Amino acid sequence: MSIAIGAAIAVLTGIGAGIGIGLATAKATDAIARQPEAADKIQRSLLIGCALAEATAIYGLVIGIMIILFVK
């Protein structure tokens, strides 16, 4: 039972990543609306930030799977 709880907590990183990506997208859209000439720089920074945030969610998923498979 405790293994399942530990895996569930590890996978909860996906919630934080989703919230972070949503907030970053909202701020980037707002910034592009205010300064359309800077859209390329803003979009590049947004994509890098979203990739890093998504990587944390994937790490959480991998840790959750490792907990289920290897902890006994």
Handedness of CA 40, 41, 43, 44 (dihedral sign): positive
- The predicted model gives 45-62 an average pLDDT of 92
Task: Give the chain's domain count.
Answer: 1
Range of the domain at 15: 2-70
Taking CA atoms, 42 is separated from 2, 38, 60, 69, in Å, by: 43, 6, 27, 41
pLDDT tens column, 32-46: 999 999 999 999 999
Q: Are 14 and 57 in contact (CB under 8 A)?
A: yes
CATH of the domain at 39: 1.20.20.10
pLDDT tens column, 6-29: 888 888 888 989 999 999 999 999
Q: What is the pTM of this model?
A: 0.78
